[in-house]
């Protein structure tokens, strides 16, 4: 009888430990102290870019089969495998700590600051209007390799976003299809291929304000594909992970956001795309993220970074006015 009592005590203790552990894991992480509101804008101290804030919290990442099928039918697909919708499985709730994300894709203006400071010389494949494009300050820099994107981010004191950070910045917390909601894309929402699939080229960053994301980031659908910090791998618990094995296994870096070159259905916030690390094209660029240090939100540095926004926006507006297109490829 005593032995049964001992076994019962031990079992209760173990069960209590397991339950306590499960409860502890279920508790959401603590938010960052004194976090600012969604979309709070600063001038980054490293490279002078405008950045917008994405607060700590959960968001809906990925999609389930039913939603992907519905999305495919909106673009006249009968089979979601035709647009690799299985790569987005499963739909789940993901916690992401607060961070700042570049408001715009990295521009030629900022890239030129980097190359001047580091003496870096990139080998650029030629694309439509390539020489002219590189002279336009407020146009996104391209083509960019995965390593170049990471090197710039490190130099600026930032880094490339994880897939979760990128998707939360683009999608917000409500599981929408596109940065602006579930309305299908139009030319007012972003820089996409023409109505008949004819390709354009990239346009000035922020040129489609109707496509702004919940945090205030621009061009997260269309214009350029954007590198993340992660390899293209099946998500955990993806029921169709086996269909991705031929091109995963740390073979391809993951990009997000679609581009002016790819079909409009590819600008979904959950859409994933992969290139080999050394591979790039004239529709590939990036934006970076920054996780501020402890105590930043109560610091004088944060106050000054917010106060500097108005002056920086005036500088960028002057650059926009000087960026007069000269290329016959331009599509307005």
pLDDT, tens only, 112-169: 999 999 999 987 655 555 566 667 899 999 999 999 999 999 999 999 999 999 999 9
Q: Are residues 117 and 228 in the same domain?
A: yes
Q: Are residues 65 and 5 in the same domain?
A: no
Q: Give Dmax (Cα) for the chain.
A: 92
**Given a cut of 50, is residue 9 above it in pLDDT?**
no
pLDDT, tens only, 50-75: 999 999 999 999 999 999 999 999 99
**Given a cut of 50, is residue 332 above it in pLDDT?**
no
Q: Are residues 9 and 141 in the same domain?
A: no
Q: Residue 165: inside a domain, yes or no?
A: yes
Q: Residue 284: inside a domain, yes or no?
A: yes
**Given a cut of 90, is residue 22 above it in pLDDT?**
no
Least confident interval from 66-75, 90-99, 183-192, 199-208: 199-208
Q: Are residues 200 and 51 in the same domain?
A: yes
Q: Are residues 13 and 70 in the same domain?
A: no
pLDDT, tens only, 254-310: 999 999 998 899 999 999 999 999 999 999 999 999 999 999 999 999 999 999 999
Q: Residue 173: inside a domain, yes or no?
A: yes
Q: What is the pLDDT of the chain when averaged over all its residues? A: 87
How many distinct structural domains can be found in the chain? 2
Q: Are residues 76 and 3 in the same domain?
A: no
Q: Are residues 148 and 15 in the same domain?
A: no
Q: Residue 331: inside a domain, yes or no?
A: no
Given pLDDT bands bounded at 50, 70 and 90, which one contains residue 23?
very low
Rounded to two decimals, the pTM is: 0.88
Q: Are residues 66 and 93 in the same domain?
A: yes
Q: Are residues 59 and 20 in the same domain?
A: no
Q: What is the pLDDT of residue 204?
A: 94
Q: Are residues 266 and 206 in the same domain?
A: yes
Given pLDDT bands bounded at 50, 70 and 90, which one contains residue 174?
very high
CA 179, CA 17: separation in Å to the nearest integer? 43
Range of the domain at 13: 1-30
Burial pattern 225-242, b for ≥16 Cβ within 10 A else e, equals bbbbbbbbbbbeebeebe
Structure tokens at 132: 């002219």
Give yes or no for a contact between 252 and 234, defined as CB atoms under 8 angstroms apart.
no
Provide mean pLDDT across the span 36-58. Answer: 98
Given pLDDT bands bounded at 50, 70 and 90, which one contains residue 5?
very low
Q: Which residues contact 293 (CB under 8 A, 6 or more apart)?
A: none
Q: What is the pLDDT of residue 199?
A: 52
Q: What is the pLDDT of residue 132?
A: 64
Q: Residue 328: inside a domain, yes or no?
A: no
Q: Are residues 24 and 37 in the same domain?
A: no
- In this structure, what CATH number is given to the domain that contains residue 245? 3.90.1580.10
Q: Are residues 44 and 130 in the same domain?
A: yes
Q: What is the dihedral of CA 86, 270, 162, 87, to 10 degrees?
A: 10
Q: Residue 100: inside a domain, yes or no?
A: yes
pLDDT, tens only, 203-257: 999 999 999 999 999 999 999 999 999 999 999 999 999 999 988 889 999 999 9
For 309, counting Cβ atoms within 10 Å of its Cβ (0-12 exposed, 13-18 middle, 19+ buried), the class is middle
**Given a cut of 60, is residue 21 above it in pLDDT?**
no
């Amino acid at each position: 009888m005593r032995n049964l009592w001992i076994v019962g005590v031990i079992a209760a203790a173990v069960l209590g430990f397991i339950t306590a552990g499960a409860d502890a894991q279920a508790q959401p992480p603590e938010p960052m102290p004194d976090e600012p509101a969604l979309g709070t804008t600063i001038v980054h101290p490293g490279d002078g870019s405008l950045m917008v804030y994405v607060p700590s919290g959960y968001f809906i990442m990925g999609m389930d089969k039913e939603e992907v099928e519905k999305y495919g039918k909106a673009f006249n697909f009968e089979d979601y495998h035709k647009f690799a919708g299985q790569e987005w499985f499963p739909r789940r709730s993901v916690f992401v700590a607060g961070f700042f994300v570049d408001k715009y894709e990295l521009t030629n203006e900022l890239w030129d600051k980097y190359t001047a400071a580091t003496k870096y010389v990139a080998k650029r494949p030629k694309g439509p209007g390539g020489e002219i494009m590189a002279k336009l300050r407020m146009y996104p820099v391209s083509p960019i390799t995965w390593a170049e994107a990471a090197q710039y981010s490190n130099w600026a004191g930032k880094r490339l976003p994880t897939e979760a950070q990128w998707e939360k910045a683009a999608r917000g917390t409500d599981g929408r299809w596109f940065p602006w909601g579930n309305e299908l894309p139009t030319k007012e929402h972003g820089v996409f291929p023409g109505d008949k699939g004819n390709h354009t080229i990239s346009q000035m960053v922020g040129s489609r304000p109707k496509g702004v994301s919940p945090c205030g980031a621009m061009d997260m659908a269309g214009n350029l594909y954007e590198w993340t910090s992660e390899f293209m791998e099946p998500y955990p618990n993806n029921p169709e992970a086996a269909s991705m094995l031929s091109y995963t296994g740390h073979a391809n870096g993951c990009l997000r956001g679609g581009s002016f070159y790819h079909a409009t259905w590819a600008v979904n916030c959950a859409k994933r795309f992969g290139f080999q690390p050394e591979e790039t094209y004239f529709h590939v660029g990036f934006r970076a993220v920054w996780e501020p240090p402890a105590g930043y939100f109560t610091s004088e540095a944060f106050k000054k970074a917010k106060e500097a926004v108005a002056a920086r926006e005036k500088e960028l507006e002057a650059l926009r006015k000087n960026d007069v297109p000269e290329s016959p490829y331009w599509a307005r």
